[in-house]
């Protein structure tokens, strides 16, 4: 049912994808169905949006569902799907065995032609660093270099991350 609803979405209307969420969010198997839908390339844009929205609404995924997301990072090819995953990272724990996988997912986003994807790539690297402090020096260097030659919208995102980092120190 969820898969059918996502497939019917026109991939443009935020109102329609929100309606899909409202229709299915209370279903017992919503999270597992959603996690499974993430692996279908034809559903990923809608499924990743639903995931992000679900997490923003204080949902907590099961460990197996979180692991499935990290195991399938390589399947996300559309920039919007990547964006939604990056935006979801602040709500997901990062298991140690997926540290390298996540890093390999984030790095190309930092070099994307899409400013929005680059901005959220820095966000993703920030959250990788929060879990794994060994990335602190590299995060500092990435942020410093970006402040010199990134677009204003990306710099604004980085400034917010720096503020957040300072507030947590």
Tens digits of residue pLDDT in 56-65: 999 999 999 9
Closest CA to 126 of 137, 108, 109, 139: 139
Query: Helix (H) and strand (E) counts for the chain?
Result: 10, 0
**Is the pLDDT score of 45 beyond 70?**
yes
8 Å CB contact between 110 and 118: yes
8 Å CB contact between 57 and 24: no
Q: What is the pLDDT of residue 169?
A: 66
DSSP string, 2-13: HHHHHHHS-SS-
Taking the C-alpha atoms of residue 127 and residue 86, their distance in angstroms, rounded to an integer, is 9
Each residue's pLDDT tens digit, 86-119: 999 999 999 999 999 999 999 999 999 999 999 9
Each residue's pLDDT tens digit, 144-157: 999 999 999 999 99
- Computed over every residue of the chain, the mean pLDDT equals 96
Cα torsion for 144, 141, 149, 118, to the nearest 10°? -110
């Amino acid at each position: 049912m969820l898969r059918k609803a996502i497939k019917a979405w026109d991939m443009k209307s935020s109102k329609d994808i929100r309606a899909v969420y409202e229709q299915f969010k209370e279903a017992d198997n919503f999270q597992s169905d959603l996690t499974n839908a993430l692996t279908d390339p034809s559903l990923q844009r809608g499924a990743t949006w639903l995931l992000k929205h679900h997490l923003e609404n204080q949902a907590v995924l099961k460990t197996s569902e979180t692991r499935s997301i990290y195991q399938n990072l390589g399947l996300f090819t559309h920039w919007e799907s990547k964006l939604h995953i990056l935006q979801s990272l602040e709500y997901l724990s990062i298991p140690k065995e997926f540290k390298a996988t996540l890093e390999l997912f984030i790095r190309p986003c930092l070099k994307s032609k899409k400013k929005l994807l680059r901005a959220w790539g820095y966000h993703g690297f920030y959250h990788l660093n929060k879990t794994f402090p060994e990335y602190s020096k590299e995060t500092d260097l990435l942020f410093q270099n970006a402040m010199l030659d990134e677009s204003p919208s990306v710099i604004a995102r980085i400034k917010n991350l720096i503020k957040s980092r300072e507030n947590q120190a």
